[in-house]
Amino acid sequence: MTLTITSVTTHTHRPVHDRETDPPPPADLGGVMSGRYRALTLGIVSCVLLVAFEATAVNTAMPVAARDLNGLGLYAFAFSGYFTASLLAMVVSGEWSDKRGPLGPLSAGITTFGVGLLIAGTAQNMWTFVGGRAVQGLGGGLLIVALYVVVGRAYPERLRPSVFAAFSSAWVLPSIIGPVISGTVTQQLGWRWVFLSIPVLIALPVALMLPELRRLQAVDAAAATATAHAGDAAATPTPTPAPRGWALDRRRILLALALAVGAGLLQYAGQLLDVYALIPAAAGLALLVPAVTRLLPRGTFRAARGLPTVILLRGIAAGAFFAAEAFIPLMLVTQRGLSPTLAGLSLTSGGVSWALGSWIQGRPWAGRHRSLLIRTGFLMCAFAIAGAGLALVPAVPAYVVAVVWTVGGLGMGLTIASVGVLMLAFSEADDTGENSASLQVSDALGNVLMAGLAGVLFSVVGTGTGGGFAAIFATMTGVALLGAAVCGRTRVR
């Protein structure tokens, strides 16, 4: 992994697979479910399935848990604690994966994730529950970055789009049945069993992946040893790269800590409704801004060509889409009189079409049209967000939201998976972890910043009024159009 921001930008000139010095691609022509990759593919998809089911099931049980623990006042912290801890863990996982391989952070992530669920499920007060959610966030952050590194190291480039398509498909079933199962368990057995039952599922992905991950780790270690011996025996004076140390970069870890604390302070300020919120907000910005500019590739916020634009687009897409999505159920309940169940179901179509979009970008022809796919995805998201706002007009049927959100989900499937493919294409083998961490940090920051902006618009324009919702949808439509405008800069000249 590169240890300076300057060295990261060297990967923005040309994708790794376009460089003349690269070895030819492997001759293996099997797919992601061929004998060579089957166990690993099933294992990593099972990990994504586990995270997806946890997200959909736990969110359903969370209101009951907070009420039972007399902690409704800390309800938002159960979410922000997860997010804040995951920011730190993402950077640590990138460092760890690049220095020592993905096996360690992946195993630690799955274990920590399970421990967090157990803490939350046995909590006797709300602060312990929030602490359990934070431990879950540490595990989730370690896990997601390590999974990206596994994809980059274990699969040839031609198979990576199919793997990302499988990631998206793993969310479809949990998004449909997760809330139903969680609601039933919560009503019949109690909310604690939602948290305590999920760790049982951890054994499956571990059993499937472990042998292949150990083999991959051994291959990496053997390659590093061979490279070192070859450098010692070389008779020419040409310098060889110095062996990478095993110690994690303390500077990046401290920056990640500052980023997490800064984000936490901003979220805390968002819960306050008086002038004193300016104090934690100012402190949060003072920590977050310098940290994020040093952790992400140089040029990210000015959309420099290549990797910086790829990283930026992930945050724009996630921020615009999910900030709008968060307010759609509330709009349908308060403005159109739908039940919470129907309001939530109106978004289900987006999850299914997201998987379809990821499948489309995984077709063999799609690799030649990445920028076009990303632009198309952003335009579809902009159409969906603007279309959702039409439901504010009484003459427009409320089900228009389900229709347009199908289009938006398809666009997100095209965009998010394609951005992940390009990130790996711009990454060398020894900085896949750092760049994967940058991608996930951008995603998380895009979510919190756009959600925060949406909250401000909602309060300023009018809480619970049609004008407040209209301001949010109009702004997020503009953000999505901004993504469409800059996505051409993913191509390098």
What is the predicted pLDDT for the residue at 19?
A: 43
Give me the mean pLDDT over the 125-132 stretch. 92
> Which one of 95-104, 144-153, 309-318 scores highest in mean pLDDT?
309-318
Q: Is the pLDDT of residue 471 over 80?
A: yes
Q: Which of 142, 195, 456, 447 is nearest to 317 (CA)?
A: 447
Tell me what percent of the residues of the chain surpass a pLDDT of 90: 30
Beta carbons of 97 and 105 less than 8 angstroms apart:
yes
Give me the mean pLDDT over the 56-84 stretch. 78
Q: Which of 413, 344, 437 is nearest to 171 (CA)?
A: 413
Q: Is the pLDDT of residue 342 over 80?
A: no
Q: Is the pLDDT of residue 459 over 90?
A: no
Structure-model confidence comparison of residues 347 and 120, the more confident one: 120
Q: Is the pLDDT of residue 11 over 70?
A: no
> What does the longest C-alpha to C-alpha distance in the chain come to?
80
Q: Which of 377, 381, 371 is nearest to 489 (CA)?
A: 371
- Residue length, the chain? 493
Report helix angle 126-154 to 38-68, nearest 10: 170
Q: Is the pLDDT of residue 205 over 80?
A: no
Global pTM?
Answer: 0.75
Distance CA 272, CA 262 (A): 16
> Which one of 21-35, 167-181, 373-387 scores highest in mean pLDDT?
373-387
Distance CA 250, CA 256 (A): 10
